[in-house]
Structure 1
Amino acid sequence: MTMDRRTLIKHIGGVGAAAALAGCSVQEDSGDGSSGSDGESGGSSDGSSGTESQGPAGTATAWYSLSESELASREEIISAFNDENRHTVEGADISDLKKKTSSAIPAGEGPQIFDWAHDWAGNSYEQGFVVDQSDQVSVSLDQFTETARSAVQYKGNLVGLPYGAETVTPIANMDVVDSVPESVDEMVSMMEEHHDPDNGQYGLGYPFDPYFASAWLQAFGGYYFDPSAEEPLGVNNDETVRGLEFALENLRPYMPNDPSYEPQAAAFAEGNAAFTINGPWSLSGLNSNDINYEVFSFPEMSDGTPSPYTGISVWYFAKPMADGGAAAKAGRQFTEWFVTNEDHLLSLANEQGAIPVLDSLVGSSDLPAEVQAYSESAGQGVPMPSAPRMSDVWGPVGTALTQAFNGDKTPQKALDNAAAQIRSNWE
């Protein structure tokens, strides 16, 4: 069974970076990076109606799954679009987006567009949940980073448009520590110094699941799944096991006992941990709690390199877009407007730490320091595979990490079991 990104991280999916990721490639079939022709539906990127002025106005439904702190911003953006355009959008926050899209879209009850990370591209297209719009959009993919262009294409089909990137990186509570560490060894020493669980204080609040832990499991050359490798499944190879052992030895001792997202993230968000490792979606909550934090890129390791999974945030074109009606035109126009509107993309960067993938904003001096730190860590990482078989990897690896975290199984045994389960799923 697929473990969706919301279950994994309570928002994400995840992720790629702007300039830092421009030279990376998403691990899946993609097109040549070009956009479609000027179809009748294409609204201009500045929000004007273009050829959409012909025919009746439409209302598109947009689905997403966001944290409470992100919702207000999304609602404001949708309201701004609706105020400026003839077509409109009705947004809906969906608590279990994977389950809902999987049931509603085949029944003809789904949205025109939905928002998630690029790792759904392969499965969603193969199952008919998303459709190719390469001949309909008017936005050129050339204005996005190379990774973002690849992320929204599957086997040459344009299944959505990209608007941001995300990954996880360390964050320090500057009311607890005096400076950010330059090495992992220094970070471990600082965590030990400030770890006092008997008084509710921890060295680290760090959700421990396949997405978050990927930085360490891939630090020594390990990997979960790489469709381009001679052996695509790397869950239990020596390098991956070594990465899990490293994380358990150096990080686990300074964390709360429950590895799930809520208690780990809360330890830092409530001011009770020296460090966390989390994504840009967490920053608005930290701002609301007045946490004095500093985001920094992964520090150096003596014999490895933290390599977190990264993801591109995508507005997917759902199956209802294929009918070409007024609602489909509204969905396309909103998507094109959303992904090219510099004002609100900069607002997302400043308020939520979102990493732009629009070339005109990549490396901009207007971007906050937090975004630059996320970009640097993402540059050390690898894009999540979007191949359909990856959907069978998340669940077994998640179970393995929980077992190893709780001491129920050794890292080797837990990952061996995960590999066996994944291969069984594939068969």
Structure 2
Amino acid sequence: MKRRPVLKGIGGALAMTSLAGCMSYFSGGDSSPLWHQFTDSEEETFESHLETFNDETDHDIDAASISNLQDQLKTTLPAGDGPMSFTWAHDWIGTQHENGNLYDASDEFDVDLGETYTEAAAQAVQWDGNVYGLPYAAETVGLMYNKEMVEEPPETVSEMVSIMEQYDGDGEYGLGYQGDAYHLSAYLQGFGGIIYDEDADELGVDSDALVEGLTFIRDNLYEHSPNDIQEDANISVFENGNAPFVVTGPWNLGGFRDAGIDVGVAPLPTPEGGEPTPYTGVQMWYLTSRLEDADDDVHDAVLNWAKWYTTTEDVVTTNAQDHAMIPVLDSVVGSDELGSDVDAFSQNVDMGMPMPASKKMDAVWEPLESAIDMVLSSGGDPQEELESAAEKIRDSWE
């Protein structure tokens, strides 16, 4: 049964909703209705937004930072526990839908998705005709550089290699580049390949173009990075001033600046004969099946939060200025107040393609990343490893 539409405005109308009698739920920690996995710098801004929301609406909603968010959701939501809303990129929407973990608010938001958000963002929060949340930012990876080590960011990979070679050795590296499929997608798919074509339902992991992409990464990029594909090793060499470049997303920008690095953000350099094609995501506040049985005041508070956070221009602008979160709120997109970081990341989004949201993609990540690891860390042959990964993926689909 559909609830009544509850979001008729921000301000006085929302302030009429109180949480009397429900304070035991809003008690903090894992019992919080909102879950996230923001970085430290992002969390500080988020908490400020949440405090403002509570002050303006007379709510007393709180949130929890959850490590291993995906694993926690897998166990809590099917058991009737966990959050009523959580934030992550849109690519989980298909799996969470199939698992019955989401709440359809199609008839409850008075927001016209197509008129309020960008077209890509409006589409990202919908699945199988249902509205499972609201979007607040687009994101992808980009090239960050230390301005004390690099005067001008390179436009091509060959220019980038020339700079990286100056820093290889003696505890320094040319590049920090986390070796998972998401971060490497720009160059894996940089020669015309697609890891998984969701529209055509075709796997491209073992295509000649993907083989070319992985070979390119091995021969041109990975040899300049730490001999470790894990995140910490590649983030730390840049954060400690021991590498001129890092390929990562806006979520790490604040941490680098807190560490005293004078960071610039640039479009991903172009490989000879190709174009960077990174995976892109739309960050959203998901609504979970916990809302089905929630008390009306708790239910309304969570939906009020999702609308307030994603449609309040000050929130969206602050997120862009402080953390390079690319706005998807139409009234803010293109604003002169967003800064150069957002402009650079926006160029990377324009290069890319949305992450597949189909549940079938769940079977792709691990075999593909195992193949990448074998090639980059153990000297495996790109074609053999990608063909083996593709076979495992197709077997799991069957």
Tell whether the structures are fold-level matches, with TM greater than 0.5.
Answer: yes
Question: 1:110, 1:49 → 2: CA distance?
Answer: 28
- CA deviation string 1:30-57 (max 9, x = no partner): xxxxxxx99432252x34435x736765
AA paired with 2:13? S
Within 5 Å, which residues of 2 pair with 1:60-71? 61-71=33-43
CA contact (8 A) 2:285 2:306 kept: yes
Q: Aligned partner of 2:206: which letter? A: N
Structure 2: how far apart are the matches of 1:233 and 1:312?
Answer: 23
- Deviation digits for residues 276-317 of structure 1, max 9, x if unmatched? 111000110111011112101122333100000000001001
Q: Residue 79 of structure 2 corresponds to which residue in structure 1? A: 107
Q: Which amino acid aligns with 2:43?
A: L
- Residue identity matched to 1:280: P
Of 117, 122, 125, the match for 2:94: 122
1:319 aligns with 2:292: no
Give the aligned partner of residue 141 of structure 2: 168
**Is contact 2:18–2:58 with CA below 8 Å preserved after alignment?**
no
Q: Comparing 53-62 with 414-423, which one deviates more in the overlay? A: 53-62
The equivalent of 1:91 in structure 2 is 63
Aligned length, in residue pairs: 386
Alignment of 1:332-371 (within 5 A): 332-371=303-342
CA contact (8 A) 2:277 2:351 kept: yes
Larger RCO (alpha carbons 8 Å, 6+ apart) = 1
Q: Distance in 1 between matches of 2:164 and 2:118?
A: 36
2:16 to 34, 37, 53: 53
CA distance in 2, matches of 1:54, 1:342: 22
Contact 2:266 2:345 in 1 (8 A): yes
Aligned to 1:40: 5
Cross-structure match for 1:224: 195
Q: Is the counterpart of residue 210 in structure 1 residue 175 in structure 2?
A: no
The SS at the match of 2:367 is: helix
Correspondence list, 1:113-262, <5 A:
113-141=85-113, 142-196=115-169, 199-229=170-200, 232-262=202-232
**d(CA) in 2 for partners of 1:47, 1:338:** 13
Q: Which residue in 1 is equivalent to 2:272?
A: 302
Does the 8 Å CA contact 2:6/2:300 hold for their aligned counterparts? yes
CA distance in 1, matches of 2:18, 2:41: 37
How far apart are 1:323 and its partner, in Å?
3.0
CA contact (8 A) 1:43 1:333 kept: no
Say if 1:107 and 1:48 are closer, same or farther in 2 by CA, change over 3 A. farther
Give per-residue Cα distances to partners, 1:93-143, cap 9 Å, x unaligned.
Answer: 110111111111121112111111100001101111111101011222121
Q: Is the 8 A contact 2:192 2:209 kept in 1?
A: yes
User: What root-mean-square deviation, in Å, do the aligned CA atoms of Structure 1 and Structure 2 show?
Assistant: 1.7
Name the residue aligned to 1:274.
244
Q: Where in structure 1 are there 5+ consecutive unaligned residues? A: 1-36
Q: Report deviation, 1:388.
A: 0.9
Q: Which residues in structure 2 correspond to 1:71-86 (within 5 Å)?
A: 71-86=43-58
| Contact 2:91/2:357 (<8 A) preserved | yes
SS in 2 for 1:236: coil
Whole-angstrom distance in 2 between the partners of 1:145 and 1:313: 13
Identity %: 39
Query: For 1:289 and 1:315, how far apart are their aligned partners in 2?
Result: 29
Q: Which amino acid letter does the alignment assign opposite residue 41 of structure 1?
A: V
Q: 1:262 to 1:321 in 2, by over 3 A?
A: same
Aligned residue identity for 1:327: V
Distance 2:354 2:82 in 1: 28
Runs of 4+ in 1 over 6 A off after TM superposition: none
1-structure distance, mates of 2:17, 2:133: 23
Structure 2, unaligned runs of 5 or more: 27-31
Letter in 2 for 1:123: T
8 Å Cα contact 1:47-1:337 kept in structure 2: no
SS in 1 for 2:165: helix
Greater CA deviation, 324-333 or 167-176? 324-333
Q: Structure 1 length normalisation: TM-score?
A: 0.87
Q: Secondary structure of 2:61's match?
A: strand
Could you list the per-position Cα deviations for residues 3-28 of structure 1 after superposition, in whole angstroms to 9, with x for gaps in the alignment? xxxxxxxxxxxxxxxxxxxxxxxxxx
Q: Secondary structure at the match of 1:95?
A: coil
